[in-house]
């Protein structure tokens, strides 16, 4: 099995074919999906924030090996970035002020604003970086994903969107970010409550809804507030309905959803692409979807880190910039070069 995995992987790399390499939370196995066969039973989707596109990988047989057996990629040629997309500090502060004004003059309660931070690619080693993310974020869903059209993405998401096993569904309400030494204020508590309320209201057809939290959780360089939510459903159709209703949650979009989304698309000034969308798989025994956060696109010359934060009527622009700087470390500080 091990040799077959390595052989297949080296072959797709050499031919620059699409691939998806991932490690599920709390696992030390890595899975490889190559999108070779059309199969309705095992599907892995990457869904864009704005719903305009999704990419589906499907496979007959999932190849798995222990992550420490994964060998390095010899050479993988990456494309150069075609445009600069990073926003300046001044322009970001202006965008946050505009968002705060929107929240104070309309009925919109929360808007999640984001940006790209570009750093130089100093020779990122993809497999060493993947293993580094695995070691540092055991509870995250870690992936490395390539297609010719979308380029190379890497991510370590801490945010479960939806899990289903034996018709029990689970999700989380994750929001509020502070450096580890700081105490939660009413701003973060309210910001996270908005997400919890939204999720619970979208589980209306499910039974036995339970909410546990909020709890303080360690996200590496900072803390978040998180509540655990679970419910029972009658069939898989209901799971799909819930997934479509939940995305995008106020953790990555805002509240009310449509107003927040319109504001984001009109004002953010760049294309989020797959950031703040979702990814995950549906297999006969289990489905697991995560929000695509703490991710980056790797080009030959630069690495584009996607970072954002929830804006509330009492947000401070400078603090919001600092929060995105902190979030950029999740991937940015764990890149391993040769």
Which residues bind to ligand ISJ, rule: CB under 6 A? 112, 114, 159, 174-177, 224, 251-252, 293-294, 307-310, 327
Q: Minimal distance in Å, beta carbon 175 to ligand ISJ?
A: 5
**25 vs 232, which CB is nearer to ligand ISJ?**
25
Helix H or strand E segment including 96: helix 89-105
Give the distance from CA 17 to its chain's centroid: 23
**277 vs 308, which CB is nearer to ligand ISJ?**
308
Distance (Å, rounded) from C-alpha 303 to C-alpha 310? 23
CA distances for 194 relative to 257, 279, 321, angstroms:
11, 23, 22
Q: Minimal distance in Å, beta carbon 281 to ligand ISJ?
A: 21
Q: At what angle do helices 89-105 and 317-332 cross, to 10 degrees?
A: 120
**180 vs 207, which CB is nearer to ligand ISJ?**
180
- Residues 6+ away with beta carbon under 8 Å from 80: 299, 300, 301
Select from 333, 332, 319, 331 the least CA-distant residue to 179. 319
Q: Minimal distance in Å, beta carbon 15 to ligand ISJ?
A: 33
Q: Minimal distance in Å, beta carbon 13 to ligand ISJ?
A: 29
**273 vs 294, which CB is nearer to ligand ISJ?**
294
Q: Minimal distance in Å, beta carbon 129 to ligand ISJ?
A: 18
Distance (Å, rounded) from C-alpha 162 to C-alpha 202? 12
Q: Minimal distance in Å, beta carbon 291 to ligand ISJ?
A: 7
**238 vs 315, which CB is nearer to ligand ISJ?**
315
Contact criterion met (CB below 8 Å) for 301 and 291: no
Q: Minimal distance in Å, beta carbon 228 to ligand ISJ?
A: 14
**175 vs 233, which CB is nearer to ligand ISJ?**
175
**142 vs 175, which CB is nearer to ligand ISJ?**
175
Q: How many CB atoms lie within 10 A of CB 337?
A: 10
Q: Minimal distance in Å, beta carbon 71 to ligand ISJ?
A: 31
Q: At what angle do helices 257-267 and 89-105 cross, to 10 degrees?
A: 150
Peptide bond into 248 cis (omega under 30): yes
**176 vs 220, which CB is nearer to ligand ISJ?**
176
- Sheet with 278-283, strands from edge to edge, namely 54-58, 43-47, 278-283, 286-291, 160-165, 168-178, 223-232, 207-218
């Amino acid at each position: 099995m091990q040799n077959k995995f390595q052989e297949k992987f080296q072959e797709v790399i050499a031919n620059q074919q699409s691939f998806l390499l991932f490690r599920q939370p709390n696992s030390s196995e890595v899975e490889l999906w190559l999108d070779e066969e059309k199969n309705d039973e095992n599907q892995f989707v990457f869904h864009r924030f704005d719903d305009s596109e999704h990419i589906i990988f499907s496979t007959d047989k999932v190849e798995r090996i222990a992550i420490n057996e994964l060998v390095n990629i010899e050479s993988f040629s990456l494309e150069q970035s075609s445009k600069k997309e990073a926003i300046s500090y001044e322009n970001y502060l202006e965008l946050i002020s505009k968002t705060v004004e929107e929240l104070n003059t309309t009925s919109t309660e929360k808007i999640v604003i984001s940006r790209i931070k570009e750093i130089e690619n100093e020779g990122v080693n993809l497999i060493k970086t993947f293993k580094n993310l695995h070691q540092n974020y055991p509870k995250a869903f870690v992936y490395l994903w390539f297609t010719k059209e979308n380029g190379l993405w890497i991510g370590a998401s801490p945010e479960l969107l939806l899990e289903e096993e034996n018709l029990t569904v689970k999700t989380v309400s994750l929001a509020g970010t502070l450096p580890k030494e700081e105490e939660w204020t009413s701003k973060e508590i309210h910001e996270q409550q908005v997400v919890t309320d939204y999720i619970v209201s979208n589980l209306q057809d499910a039974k036995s809804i339970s909410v546990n939290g909020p709890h303080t959780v360690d996200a590496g360089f900072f803390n978040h507030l998180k509540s655990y939510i679970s419910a029972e459903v009658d069939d898989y159709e209901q799971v799909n309905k819930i997934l479509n209703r939940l995305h995008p949650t106020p953790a990555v979009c805002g509240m009310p959803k449509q107003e927040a989304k319109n504001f984001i698309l009109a004002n953010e000034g760049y294309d989020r692409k797959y950031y703040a969308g979702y990814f995950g798989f549906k297999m006969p025994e289990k489905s697991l979807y995560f929000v695509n956060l703490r991710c980056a696109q790797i080009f030959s010359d630069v690495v584009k880190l996607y970072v954002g934060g929830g804006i509330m009527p009492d947000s401070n622009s400078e603090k919001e910039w600092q929060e995105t700087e902190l979030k950029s470390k999740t991937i940015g500080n764990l890149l391993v070069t040769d």
